[in-house]
């Protein structure tokens, strides 16, 4: 997996962005053709889609984890459905304890800690399997731009710090589609972190918006004044590094790998050597931790936390009303 190009997040146009712009137009044209020709299947089970407009790094999976936790707490039986991005398994599979990030992807492993999780290329088949195995609702991590997938309620997640980059569609920028088109199909928008005026202007008042923050666990105060070698293979690693800074850590090294990078023995030996030279500790994200060989995990600590909604009750109320209406509708 490749790292996101830096020019995607520069506010001003760059030579590379302008050069690639014609390809962005072709990408948008291809997307329109796909939408016209695609056929959506409907399953008699509510599907909540959690997506974003930019490529990676917005915080979809932490929001999905929080949503799954809240729905279980309120008496529902959610199952997660995801493609298993980054894994080699393409068949429709229920995640088990013995699966690895290499086989099913890192995100699916984290989701499976909360509720039953299905991966596979054919997500429509995963919907069917989830329903047959006791789910009363489905949380789909990603898939917002796929017109063949059922979506009863679509949530767009926006990283306030990251925003929309240069506001251009890939490969000229980080957008999967135009901002206006994406937001027009959203039932709810969740903004993680401080929302900038630039982002706020793009969100119409007709679309409900809930603010959220990624709250770091209290036990992470151990990083205060601690020398740290931080490493991450995620789409937007700066947010991780900034979080460590906010905890008072002294960042001796920041090592970024491609998104979903599978760490091998050489990676871990090199990281251990860097930490030894700088007399620091190795710290990564929970998402990266599951991609580290088990024999090296004792060398690494993680920066843990979870999504917190500023108005959690409103969020639950919106989704409970939706689920009750849809469950009743599909039971007829």
Please, which contacts does 328-332 make with residues 24 or more away whose CB atoms are closer than 8 Å?
330/44, 330/45, 330/46, 331/44
Same domain, yes or no, for 208 and 78?
yes
Domain count, the chain: 2
Mean pLDDT of 188-214: 89
Domain limits at 170? 37-214+308-331
CB 190 within 8 A of CB 158: yes
Q: What single DSSP character describes residue 50? A: E
Q: Is the same domain home to 265 and 206? A: no
Same domain, 83 and 188: yes
pLDDT digits 0-9 by tens, 109-152:
999 999 999 999 999 999 999 999 999 999 999 999 999 999 99
**Rounded CA gap, 108 and 34, in Å?**
27
Per-residue confidence (pLDDT) for residue 17, from 0 to 100: 93
CA 51 and chain centroid, separation = 8
pLDDT mean across residues, the chain: 92
In angstroms, the CA 117 to CA 300 distance is: 26
| Residue pLDDT, tens place only, 1-26 | 556 788 998 878 899 999 999 999 99
User: pTM above 0.75?
Assistant: yes
CATH number at residue 60: 3.40.50.300
Do residues 177 and 249 share a domain?
Answer: no
Which comes out higher in pLDDT, residue 219 or 222?
A: 222
Q: pLDDT tens across 51-65, in order?
A: 999 987 788 999 999
CA torsion angle 308 313 319 321 (round to 10): 180
Q: Are residues 210 and 245 in the same domain?
A: no
Do 287 and 234 lie in one domain? The reply is yes
Rounded to whole angstroms, the Cα distance separating 84 from 95 reads 10
Residues 280 and 156 in one domain: no
Same-domain status, 227 and 284 = yes
């Amino acid at each position: 997996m490749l790292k996101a190009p830096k020019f995607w997040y520069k506010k001003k146009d760059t030579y590379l962005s302008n050069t690639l712009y014609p390809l962005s137009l072709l990408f948008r044209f291809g997307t329109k053709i796909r939408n016209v020709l695609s056929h959506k299947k409907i399953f008699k089970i509510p599907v909540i889609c959690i997506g974003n407009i930019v490529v990676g790094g917005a915080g979809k999976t932490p929001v999905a984890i929080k949503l799954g936790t809240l729905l279980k707490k309120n008496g529902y039986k959610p199952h997660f459905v995801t493609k298993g991005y980054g894994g080699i398994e393409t068949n429709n599979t229920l995640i088990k304890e013995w699966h690895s990030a290499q086989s099913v992807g890192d995100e699916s492993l984290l989701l499976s800690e909360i509720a039953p999780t299905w991966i596979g290329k054919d997500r429509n088949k995963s919907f069917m399997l989830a329903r047959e195995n006791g789910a009363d609702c489905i949380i789909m991590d990603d898939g917002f731009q796929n017109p063949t997938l059922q979506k009863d309620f679509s949530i767009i997640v926006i990283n306030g710090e990251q925003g929309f980059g240069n506001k251009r569609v890939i490969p000229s920028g980080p957008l999967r589609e135009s901002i206006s088109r994406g937001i027009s199909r959203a039932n709810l928008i969740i903004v993680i972190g401080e929302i900038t005026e630039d982002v706020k202007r793009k969100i119409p008042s007709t679309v409900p918006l809930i603010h959220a923050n990624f709250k770091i666990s209290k036990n992470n105060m151990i990083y205060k004044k601690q020398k740290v070698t931080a490493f991450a293979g995620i789409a937007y690693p700066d947010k991780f590094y900034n979080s460590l800074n906010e905890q008072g850590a002294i960042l001796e090294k920041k090592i970024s790998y491609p998104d979903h990078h599978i760490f091998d023995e050489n990676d871990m030996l090199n990281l251990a050597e860097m930490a030894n030279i700088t007399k620091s500790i190795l710290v990564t994200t929970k998402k990266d931790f599951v991609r580290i060989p088990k024999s090296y995990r004792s060398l690494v600590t993680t920066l843990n936390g979870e999504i917190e909604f500023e108005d959690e009750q409103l969020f639950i109320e919106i989704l409970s009303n939706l689920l009750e209406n849809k469950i009743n509708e599909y039971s007829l």
